[in-house]
Structure formats: structure tokens, C-alpha cells
Amino acid sequence: MTPTQKPIVILGIFVADTAYRADRQPKMGETIMGHSFVLGPGGKGSNQSVAAAMAGGNVHIITRLGDDAFADIARATWAKAGVKPEVKVDVESYTGAAYIFIEQATGNNAIIVAAGAAGRVSAEDVEAKADLVESAAIFITQLEQPIPATLRGLQIARAAGVTTILNPAPAAELPDSMLALCDFLTPNESEAEALTGLPVTSVEEARIAAAALLAKGVGAVIITLGENGALYHDATQSVHVPVVSAGAVVETTGAGDAFNGGFAVALSEGRNVIDAVRFGCATAGISVTRPGTAPAMPSRSEIDALLAL
């Protein structure tokens, strides 16, 4: 990162991840024994901030925290990665938390999020940071905070000519007017399906869904395909970028966040978009070989080394 590097500004939430590993999820009314428990940092916006900062970006996060021990985890996580917090402390709420079940045999996950203070992020909170958003190279947001804040951030960034990335997670119905503010939309298969009503179980089906999203006004679509890499699709090209493997998969929880953070950094450095997608895939490829979300994000040197192979 150079001192003159324009910032990557991320609007999103922090939650404390409470991660449980077990052979299966319990049925209603049932108690089962787990293999392990880990408390750590999470929230898509926070994870993407850490991924981008670790990958070499000049990163700011706009969010709300409570005034509690989980907020201390957020600040320590960002300080370690080099993320600059743009935080409103909400003493009337609490710092959010997430329950994460991880299936021992596969590393697949199921998640419940209670956003707390971050669930009260408002359009006014974003407007208070308008100068920062307008100064950015890239503005990234997701759908874990309230939609009005997400929409306002995209509007401010678009009006200033800032490149906009919306990671539409968790899946939600969005108006075409909001999608038209997105230079890049980065859904996974299930999110692309939710946005289009079309199945996404193959690269060809992903192309059809991506074309439907372009028709709604999105500039370009990147559908992340798990072990099949990612599909980049815009008005002039449709390119399948294979997974960049760094070893055996341990946990997939933060893979999408790793991709988005890495992609944003490469884009902010002026790489062509397909190279930026591959950089994002490499970032994700390393992250899934480690447990956890933010703690699994790779350094720039690790990403560069993997891409050099």
C-alpha cells in the first residue's frame, strides 16, 4: 500500500462469530456433543475489509458497534489487518453475533446472524461519511445492514464516479433501480438464483442468470461457483475463471468475503478485470485451507506466491 493509494471503502457489519463444529446439526429439542468451539471476528463487511487490507488495500469500514467486549474483538481484528474503522458507537444496542454450524466431514456451514448495532446502520450514517465514499477508488457493500443504508452508499458512490461492488448476501429481492447502481454484482449460486428465479447449478446456467442480471441494469456480474471458481460476465465477454487451489479445503465460511476483498484490491490497482477475478479466486483459494473467517485471510505475499505457481 502506498500513501497516495485511493481507499477501498466498505459499508458492512461486524459480528462476533461463535463457530461450532459437529457431525450434524441438532434437531429441534435435541442436544448433541460438538467437536470444537471458536469465538472470532465475522460479518461479511468486516471479513471483506480484513481480506482487502491483508491483500494490500487502503481499507476503511463504515459500520456501527455496541460498547461491549465483542466490539473490542472488532477493533483488535481491524488493527491487526490495517483496516481503518469509521464506526458509530451505539450504546443503545449490542455488537452483533453469529451462530455458525460447521459440518465436521465437509466444512460446509449454516449460519444465523443477530446484527445488533450493525442492524441499525442508517442512510444518515452513510451520509456522514459521504466525503470518504466520494474519495474512494472502490465502494463495496452487502445486504447484512438495512437496505436503505446500502442503497444510499451506492447512490453516493455512483454520483461521484466511484466503482461500486455489491455482494448481494444474504440473498434478498432488490429493485432494478438499485441493481443499476452496481458496476459489479458478486452473488454466489444461491444468491444469483434468488435474484433471477433461475437455477444456477453449472457454468452455463450461471451465464444465463448473469445475462438476466445484466438486463436489470447491472454493469457486470461475477457469480462465485465454489469449487468451480467464478464466472465473469458483462456485455462484451463471458469468462469462466477456474478455482485457484492452495490445498485441501478446511472451511468455506469466509470464501466469498475473501474473493470480494481480493477482487477489489486488484481492481483498485488497475489490473484488468479477468486478472482481478483470478486474484480474488486465489485469495479465496488460500482462505478455505484454514479455519475461521477473518483469521483465514491471506497476506499479499501468499496471494502473489500462489498466482506465481
Q: Which residues are catalytic?
A: 257
* Beta-carbon contacts of residue 227 (< 8 Å; ≥ 6 apart): 243, 249
Cα–Cα distance measured from residue 191 to residue 169, given in angstroms and rounded to the nearest whole number: 7
Q: How far apart are CA 162 and CA 142, in angstroms?
A: 16
Upper half-sphere CA count for residue 208 (Cβ side, 13 Å): 10
Q: Which region holds residue 245: left if phi is over 0, alpha if psi is between -120 and 50, else beta?
A: beta
Tell me the three state secondary structure of residue 213.
Answer: helix
- 228, HSE (Cβ side, Cα atoms, 13 Å): 17
Contact 216, 181 (CB under 8 A): no
Q: What is the DSSP secondary structure assignment for residue 227, as one 8-state letter? A: G
On whether the CB atoms of residues 183 and 167 are closer than 8 A, the answer is: no
Q: What is the DSSP letter of 295?
A: G
* DSSP reduced 3-state for 77: helix
Separation of alpha carbons 189 and 99, rounded Å: 22
- Helices 273-287 + 255-268 axis angle, to 10: 140
Cis amide bond preceding 175, omega within 30: no
